[in-house]
Amino acid sequence: MAGCQYILRNTFHVIPEWFRKWIIAEHQPSQYHVIQSKLNIIRYLGIDCSDTRMELPCKIEPLAQSNNSIVGFQMGASTQERRWPVGSFVELAKKLIDSAPLLQIKLIGSSRELELPEEFFALLPERYHQNIENLVGKTSLPDLLSQIKTMAVLVTGDTGPLHLAIALQVPTVSLFVTANPKWTGPYQDLDIHTIIHKIPQQDENRALSMDLITVDEVLTAVNNTLKDK
């Protein structure tokens, strides 16, 4: 329909036999990280796909650096089952601030996630509010990149800002349960990224499975990252 003579695409499921007659290159279901899987497509064009590093094709406007550590919280994700509970982010914030009263926390996210900071502040005792900056729904993409660049570490599920932080070489603590970091987790600079991955039981409620990740696990990972900064 588009008038293309050939189509190069990735397929994440087994291609049925009846469809294989349309395929002119051998296909095998992908066993690679999604980045490598995408790059493997262009090898059919004779293009070198050995460089797997992500880079951002834009200038990042630097923001003033704080004298105190900044921890980013990305509470949203594409689906509810990929979101660590807001209450867990609240408990993490309390423990971080109790141990480092000057620490700053930046909440990031899209305009479709405005209910998350509302719930966060409703659950968080007021004495902690001065340490929190709410940027959810308030940044353009270039602004978001600048904000992430100021962070000592970003706590996030498997969602867009995780991959932006990776491209920016900003340390992350990423939380995986229903998603698999083998396919979509950090793929470069692995020494600065901590992955917490839990595998739910088959009969477990997927909507609640992110509860498998405890606050203390994430706290330890964040503190270890801050210690290395």
User: Which residue has better confidence, 49 or 3?
Assistant: 49
Rounded Cα distance between 75 and 158, Å, is 10
Question: At residue 16, does pLDDT exceed 90?
Answer: no
Rounded Cα distance between 31 and 19, Å, is 21
Answer yes or no: are the C-beta atoms of 152 and 105 closer than 8 Å: no
**Mutual orientation of helices 115-123 and 86-99 as an angle, nearest 10°?**
50
The mean of the pLDDT values for the chain is 90
CATH top class, domain 70-228: alpha beta
Phi-psi region of 169 (alpha: psi -120 to 50; beta: other; left: phi over 0): left
Helix (H) / strand (E) containing 153: strand 153-156
Rounded Cα distance between 219 and 100, Å, is 12
Residue 24: per-residue pLDDT: 65
Answer yes or no: are the C-beta atoms of 179 and 158 closer than 8 Å: yes
Q: Where are the domains of the chain?
A: 1-52, 70-228
For the segment 147-160, what is each residue's pLDDT rounded down to a tens digit? Answer: 999 999 999 999 99
What's this model's pTM, rounded to 2 decimal places?
0.87
Residue 203: per-residue pLDDT: 65
**pLDDT confidence band for 40 (50 / 70 / 90):** confident
Question: At residue 123, does pLDDT exceed 90?
Answer: yes
